[in-house]
Amino acid sequence: MAARTMQAARCPTDELSLTNCAVVSEKDLQSGQHVTVKTTPNHKFVFTVKSHTTVVPGTIAFSLPQRKWAGLSIGQEVEVANYNFDKCKQCIGSMTVEIDFLQKKSTDSSAYDSDKMAAEFIQQFNNQGFSVTQQLVFSFCDKLFGLVIKDIEAMDSSILKGEMPTGKKQKIDVGLMVGNSQVVFEKAETSSLTLVGKAKTKEARQTIINPEWNFEKMGIGGLDREFSDIFRRAFASRVFPPDIVEQMGCKHVKGIMLFGPPGCGKTLMARQIGKMLNAREPKIVNGPEILNKYVGESEANIRKLFADAEDEQKRLGANSGLHIIIFDELDAICKQRGTGASSTGVHDTVVNQLLSKIDGVEQLNNILVIGMTNRPDLIDDALMRPGRFEVKMEIGLPDEKGRVQILTIHTNKMRGFGLLSGDVDIPELAAETKNYSGAELEGLVRAAQSTAMNCHIKATSTVEVDMERAEKLQVSRSDFMGSLNNDIKPAFGTNQEDYASYIMNGIIKWGDPVTSVLDDGELLVQQTKNSDRTPLVSVLLEGPPHSGKTALAAQIAEDSEFPFIKICSPDKMIGHSEISKCQAIKKVFDDAYKSQLSCVVVDDIERLLDYVPIGPRFSNLVLQALLVLLKKPPPKGRKLLIIGTTSRKDILQEMEMLDAFSTTIHIQNISTGEQLVDALELLGSFTEKERASIGHQLKGKRVWIGIKKLLMFIEMSLQMAQDYRVTKFLTLLRDEGSGRACYE
Residue positions annotated with a catalytic role:
549-550, 603-604, 631, 708
Q: How far is CA 324 from the centre of its chain?
A: 14
Where does residue 201 rank: exposed (0-12), middle (13-18), buried (19+ CB within 10 A)? Answer: middle
Distance CA(581)–CA(591), nearest Å, equals 16
Among the listed residues 298, 285, 366, the one whose alpha carbon sits nearest the alpha carbon of residue 326: 285
Query: What angle, rounded to 10 degrees, do the helices at 688-698 and 673-683 form?
Result: 170
- CA angle 102/103/105 to nearest 5° reads 150
326's CB contacts (< 8 A; 6+ apart) are 270, 271, 274, 282, 283, 284, 285, 369, 370, 371, 372
Distance CA(448)–CA(469), nearest Å, equals 17
Distance CA(350)–CA(335), nearest Å, equals 10
Residues in a beta bridge with 539: 643, 663
The alpha-helical segments, DSSP class H, found in 39-187 are 64-70, 114-124, 157-160
Distance CA(584)–CA(570), nearest Å, equals 11
675's CB contacts (< 8 A; 6+ apart) are 510, 511, 703
Contact 403, 222 (CB under 8 A): yes
Per DSSP, the residues of 137-180 read EEEETTEEEEEEEEEEEEPPHHHHTTS------EE-SEEE--TT
Distance CA(381)–CA(412), nearest Å, equals 42
Distance CA(361)–CA(301), nearest Å, equals 20
Contact 508, 632 (CB under 8 A): no
**Torsions phi, psi for 664 (to 5 deg):** -125, 135
Distance CA(645)–CA(661), nearest Å, equals 11
3-class secondary structure, 387: coil
